[in-house]
């Protein structure tokens, strides 16, 4: 059955969901996006995702013609129209159609579309057995070029790092900043356990201020596990006792090796299992009902 896509205020069949070849989102990667999860008919952390979307848009001077509530409603409407209970939403706002050339003011009206479907970022066995990572040579963009906090449509940096990881036989790669410190992975935030404390890269080191990352902070407090943001090096990763990743699409997934170094004893850690259990419980018990944003 064809998916229903929310496109600029209307639900259309997926084969009718089209944008102009003059859209600056297509021509120049000029736009922003969010990935959002829904579980058991409830959208997880919807308000936080939409707030971040508006922040990204503001940072690139993209004026949103929709209200916060209208965008939330579009997400719920799209999920309901497709009869979905569990899945993933990709929400995209482009600069809109305009003439050739970088000038964003040639685009009169932004365009927005919402896709609700399923996603499998990693095979299920990796959630039980863990991932092996490699370090990528492609560096995370600096705050001096484009803030890593902007979830822009120009994702080529992450794509090329992902290619590096895949060609090396890994499903995910660690990205460093220009100083050689750990920023994050190509699509996920990264956490390590050492001496009973969870450590994760600082936002200032290039990590995205992820929605799921914030959930991990909340869960750490509930579980009584100390957690800090720190500048991390690859040495810190190699010598950690446990490692795991978080992200909207990935959810929470363990890591058992980095650059051929086993993490801890090379097995999925007990601390990770506590986070996974708590995370899954949370996603099933909270969220915005699809029936009303």
Kindly list the catalytic residues. Answer: 151
- What's the confidence (pLDDT) of residue 293? 42
Interval 155-164: pLDDT, tens: 999 999 999 9
Mean pLDDT of 85-94: 97
Which one, of 285, 283, 274, lies nearest residue 222 by Cα? 274
| Residue 196 contacts residue 218 (beta carbons within 8 Å) | no
The rounded percent of the chain whose pLDDT value lies above 70 is 99
Q: Are β-strands 227-230 and 197-201 bridged in parallel, bridged antiparallel, or unpaired?
A: parallel
Task: Measure the CA–CA gap between 282 and 223, rounded to whole angstroms.
Answer: 13
8: number of Cβ within 10 Å: 16
pLDDT digits (tens, 9 = 90+) for 117-137: 988 888 889 999 999 999 999
Tokens for 197?
Answer: 């404390």
State if pTM tops 0.85: yes
Which domains, ranges and CATH numbers included, belong to the chain? 4-119 (3.30.470.10), 125-284 (3.20.10.10)
Q: Is the pLDDT of residue 46 over 50?
A: yes
**Cβ partners under 8 Å of residue 262, min gap 6:** 256
Rounded Cα distance between 262 and 140, Å, is 24
Measured CA to CA, the distance from residue 43 to residue 24 in angstroms comes to 29
pLDDT digits (tens, 9 = 90+) for 251-273: 999 999 999 999 999 999 999 99
Give the strand order in the sheet containing 4-7.
10-13, 4-7, 111-117, 87-94, 31-39, 42-43, 288-289
- Contacts of residues 153-160 at CB distance under 8 Å and 24 or more positions apart, as own/partner, are 153/25, 153/29, 153/30, 153/31, 153/32, 153/33, 153/92, 153/94, 154/28, 154/29, 154/30, 155/29, 156/29, 158/186, 158/187, 159/186
Helix crossing, 270-285 with 211-223: angle to 10°?
A: 110
Which residue carries 């909207």 as its tokens?
Answer: 248
């Amino acid at each position: 059955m064809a998916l229903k896509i929310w496109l600029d205020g209307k639900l259309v069949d997926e084969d009718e969901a089209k944008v102009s070849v003059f859209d600056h989102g297509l021509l120049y990667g000029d736009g922003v996006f969010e990935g959002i999860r829904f579980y058991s008919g409830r959208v997880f952390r919807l308000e936080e995702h939409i707030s971040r979307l508006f922040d990204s848009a503001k940072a690139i001077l993209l004026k949103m013609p929709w209200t916060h509530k209208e965008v939330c409603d579009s997400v719920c409407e799209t999920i309901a129209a497709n009869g979905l209970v569990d899945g993933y939403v990709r929400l995209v706002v482009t600069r809109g159609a305009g003439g050739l050339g970088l000038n964003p003011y040639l685009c009169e009206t932004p365009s927005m579309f919402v896709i609700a479907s399923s996603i499998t970022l990693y095979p299920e066995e990796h959630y039980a057995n863990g991932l092996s990572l490699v370090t990528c040579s492609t560096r995370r963009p600096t705050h001096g070029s484009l803030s890593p906090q902007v979830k822009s449509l120009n994702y080529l940096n992450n794509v090329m790092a992902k290619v590096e990881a895949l060609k090396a036989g890994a499903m995910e790669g660690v990205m460093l900043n220009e100083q050689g410190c750990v920023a994050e992975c190509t699509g996920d935030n990264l956490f390590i356990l050492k001496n009973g404390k969870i450590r994760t890269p600082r936002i200032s080191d290039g990590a995205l201020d992820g929605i799921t990352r914030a959930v991990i902070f909340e869960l750490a407090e509930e579980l009584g596990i100390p957690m800090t943001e720190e500048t991390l090096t690859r040495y810190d990763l190699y010598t950690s006792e446990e490692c795991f990743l978080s992200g909207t699409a990935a959810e929470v997934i363990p890591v058992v090796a980095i650059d051929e170094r086993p993490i801890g004893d090379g097995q999925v850690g007990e601390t990770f299992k506590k986070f996974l259990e708590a995370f899954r419980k949370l996603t099933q018990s909270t969220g915005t009902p699809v029936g009303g944003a």
